[in-house]
Amino acid sequence: MAFTVRTRSSTSRARTGTLHLAHGEVQTPAFVPLATKGTVKTLEPRDVVALGYELILGNTFHLLLAPGPELVAEIGGLHEFMRWERPIITDSGGFQVFSMGHGGVADEIKGRRGRPGGDHGSGSILAIDEEGVRFRSYLDGGERFLSPEGSMSVQAALGSDIALVFDECTPFHVSREYTERSMERTHRWLERCLRWHADHGPAGQVVYGIVQGGVEHDLRLLSAACVASSASEGIAIGGSLGREKAQMHEVVDWTTAELERLAPDRPRHLLGIGDVDDLIVGVELGIDTFDCAIPTRLGRHGVALVPDPSTGWRADLAKGRWRTATEPIQEGCRCPACAGGFTRAYLHYLLRAGELTALRLVTLHNLWFIARLMEDLRAAVDAGRLSEVAAALRAGAAPGAVPADR
């Protein structure tokens, strides 16, 4: 078993634990920064380690298109290729492939609408059938094909510690009938992925199944039961989690309640969620790991995470009001940007000037902020004080400043 639970909260479904993976251990609950194309954008691996991260997420879809799994395997796998020595989780590519066909499910899940094609340029789906998905590469327009077996073989070549099964990620706007048919196909693909992995998967790589079912209560329970009864060693929650936060929390609640009943000792990953308030709720609902573009993407847009719920925990440093601000991003923060003495005025100026150093500094601060938040939540669960600490964080306490053992 690759997961040991240390403490279970008596007031919620929260728990702390350790993932024991081929490239090391991961303390949970943990946030997983994105290394989509083989790098946590603007950072080196040593920066990510220094921030306190033990696990990052690489992207099967993007790495398949470029540089290609053959080259990565030839150079020794994704760890060696990007010079990251700790555990890596790879997604299956399903999310990105289906984002092209469903008019930007990525944007929809992240709360944005109306950008067909999402982040993926001119790529498009040509056909979906039982065998897999034929699509057009957004890089060169060439036709490509991804199947459950194909996705697993790419992840085997990348050599990740955790592989995710290939699934169809259904968006919010499709019908219940479509969601149900798609979920059933995802369950058949789960079995094909596990079969392929049992025969060909690299030693030490574990596989997570993915619960789908959209916002339908009965489908989520069915899907949770299906994945729990499979041989997958961990369980991810994917797909459309709803139109707004309250609905998303409800869908996660249904799912983790069922998983707590059917597979209490298997680790749970929540795909694509990473707002500060959602991380707190997610931990309370019994999620062990989260991945999300938010902290790093905001950083590259000059938006810093700050302990202020009234602004959604955000400060846009590109705004004119910071032009002469002499304070750091966050008073008392010990991240490289704040401890380094960089003022908001300087970061504002760099952002306006298009200087890359600003993107790196704000990314460092944001990932530091989230790492301390997760540390606080772990300490709080272990100390039996999660409700107090969660309330303080929700009220705007600075992560890293909330003592869990007073």
The residue ranges that bind Zn ion (CB under 5 A) are 329-330, 333, 335, 337-338, 365
* C-beta of 269 vs 372, nearer to Zn ion: 372
Q: Spot the catalytic one: 91, 107, 161, 167.
A: 91
* C-beta of 207 vs 398, nearer to Zn ion: 398
- Minimum distance between the CB of residue 329 and Zn ion, rounded to whole angstroms? 5
Are the beta carbons of 364 and 383 closer than 8 angstroms?
A: no
- Minimum distance between the CB of residue 51 and Zn ion, rounded to whole angstroms? 11
| Torsion, CA 80, CA 81, CA 85, CA 91, rounded to 10 | -120
Q: Spot the catalytic one: 161, 291, 308, 382.
A: 291
- Minimum distance between the CB of residue 330 and Zn ion, rounded to whole angstroms? 5
* C-beta of 14 vs 347, nearer to Zn ion: 347
- Minimum distance between the CB of residue 328 and Zn ion, rounded to whole angstroms? 7
Residues 60, 53: Cα–Cα separation, whole Å: 21
**Amino acid residing at 355:** E
* C-beta of 273 vs 335, nearer to Zn ion: 335
Does 291 participate in catalysis according to the annotation? yes
- Minimum distance between the CB of residue 8 and Zn ion, rounded to whole angstroms? 32
Cross-strand partners of 235:
209, 268
- Minimum distance between the CB of residue 338 and Zn ion, rounded to whole angstroms? 3
Are the beta carbons of 135 and 126 closer than 8 angstroms?
A: yes
Question: Which of 173, 167, 166, 125 shows the shortest CA–CA distance to 149?
Answer: 166
* C-beta of 170 vs 363, nearer to Zn ion: 363
Encoding tokens for residue 223? 């899907």
**What spatial distance separates the first Cα and last Cα of the chain, rounded to whole Å?**
34
- Minimum distance between the CB of residue 391 and Zn ion, rounded to whole angstroms? 23
* C-beta of 3 vs 342, nearer to Zn ion: 342
Ramachandran region of residue 332, left (φ > 0), alpha (ψ -120 to 50) or beta? Answer: left
* C-beta of 148 vs 302, nearer to Zn ion: 302
Does 277 participate in catalysis according to the annotation? no
Catalytic residue positions, numbered: 91, 291
